[in-house]
Amino acid sequence: MDFSNAVFEKAYGTFEQLPPSQFPEIVFSGRSNVGKSSLINKIFNRKNLARVSSVPGKTVTINFYGLGDGVKIVDLPGYGYAKVAKSEKIRWAKMMEQYFNSGRNIKLAVQLIDMRRPATDDDIMMLDFLESTGIDYIVVMTKSDKLNRGEYRQRLEKSREELNFVSAENIIPFSSQTGENVDKIRAIIQSRLEAK
């Protein structure tokens, strides 16, 4: 699969606007400012496929990208940003719940967590939700390059303890700066798309 074929298709502000789920979907989820756009850009070998913002809470839509062969890449709105109005948080939560519970052809959810700190309550809630729906997922620990060697080892070990319900091989450190494990993440995406 050529990962550099990804193109932005459309942004949707409500669940009702989403196109029918006719093709396999790989979905990216995580807190505001966790590095979702940077990860998407790195995986798909593009600098500006997903817009990187220094302002948290910027992605307020569900963004669809096409990858060829009908495959869709779905970028969900970031959650957990404190300065966003409560009504907006409720809208996001409803939109995500509807998305995951609507029988879409989701092949894999890529859940992002900042490696520098423990998973938040929102992160755990999201993982619990994925567990309860039976959706296949991996956890990508972002910003690994911000840690020195000792901190890196310590946080990886701690993350495996904190997320002990996730198999260790599905907790993957990642850096958009160094490209750490980007090939591994691509290989996992490809394997899920090839699986029946």
Say which residue the tokens 């060697």 belong to.
Answer: 149
Per-residue pLDDT of the chain (196 residues; tens, 9 = 90+): 789 889 999 998 888 899 889 899 999 999 988 999 999 999 998 888 887 655 444 557 889 999 988 899 999 988 876 566 777 777 777 888 888 888 999 999 999 999 999 999 989 989 998 998 899 999 999 999 999 999 999 999 999 999 999 999 999 999 999 999 999 999 999 999 998 6
Question: Are residues 14 and 55 in contact, defined by beta-carbon separation less than 8 angstroms?
Answer: no
Question: Are residues 139 and 172 in contact, defined by beta-carbon separation less than 8 angstroms?
Answer: yes
State both tokens at 33: 């400012």
If residue 107 lies in a helix (H) or strand (E), which one and from where to where?
strand 106-114
pTM of the model: 0.91
Residue 124: CB atoms within 10 Å? 15
Virtual torsion, Cα 78, 132, 14, 6, nearest 10 deg: 60
Question: Are residues 15 and 102 in contact, defined by beta-carbon separation less than 8 angstroms?
Answer: yes
Q: What is the pLDDT of residues 39-80, one digit of tens each?
A: 999 999 888 888 765 544 455 788 999 998 889 999 998 887
Instruction: Please name each of the domains of the chain with its CATH number.
Output: 3-194 (3.40.50.300)
